[in-house]
Amino acid sequence: MEINAAQVKELRESTGAGIMDCKQALQEAEGDVDKATRLLREKGLAGAQKKAGRTAADGIIDAYIHINNRIGVLLEVNCETDFVARNETFKAMVHDIAMHIAASKPLFVSSEDVPESVLEEEREINRNRALKEGKPEKVLEKIVEGRMKKYFEEVCLLDQPFVKDPDMTVGDVVKQTIAAVGENVIVRRFARFQVGEEGEG
């Protein structure tokens, strides 16, 4: 079933869940918003994500230096209170994500941070690639969207498979921490340094 942007927006505003989670829930619920809301709540996504609207003005900056001293990461993650900033679960998650950045070289925190010019260029490349592969015109958009999802998994931190557990994304790890500490948690920004490479992150 085709789910439109207005349905996703409505569900996202009422639950605070992520765009992809809302889209998936609506597809499972065949467009029924109430049923999709219930599905999100059952998965624990609506509850954890509702905290996402709250201000996260506290937090910590973590530094990770790889064993050979040739890769380093600075990462800022925010939470709502100093109490959670000192929480071991929160601190361990931040350090794990800093280590993940060192290993996986993301370029952006989330897909929302990718500049429009970069998105347009990627879409154009993928559209031309699909045309050269002889894909029919009517399925081009679906193919492009699928490849864009793959692109986000490669370059966006929150969409990347987590190095310590590739069955989860980094975004899933953040959601788990939100549920565990009971506060909104936001990965704010990072910088990754590698000896001999141009600056990234």
DSSP-H helix ranges across the chain: 5-15, 19-28, 33-42, 45-50, 82-85, 88-104, 116-132, 140-155, 170-181
* Whether residue 44 has pLDDT greater than 70: no
Q: How far is the C-alpha of 46 from the C-alpha of 114, rounded, in Å?
A: 25
Fold type of domain 115-154: GTP Cyclohydrolase I; Chain A, domain 1 (1.10.286)
pLDDT-derived band at 139 (thresholds 50, 70, 90) equals confident
User: Where exactly are the structural domains of the chain?
Assistant: 5-52, 56-110+156-194, 115-154
pLDDT at 33: 83
Q: Does 5-52 carry CATH code 1.10.12.10?
A: no
Cα distances (Å, whole numbers) of residue 56 to 61, 101, 113, 151, 156: 14, 22, 18, 28, 21
Q: Is the pLDDT of residue 130 over 90?
A: no
Residue from 54, 55, 72, 52 nearest 63 by CA: 72
Q: Give the tokens for residue 108.
A: 């952006």
142 pLDDT more than 80: yes
pLDDT digits 0-9 by tens, 105-114: 999 999 989 9
Class of domain 56-110+156-194: alpha beta
Q: Report pLDDT for 45.
A: 61
User: How do residues 9-34 score in pLDDT, each as one tens digit?
Assistant: 777 776 667 677 788 888 888 888 88
Mean pLDDT confidence for 46-56: 57
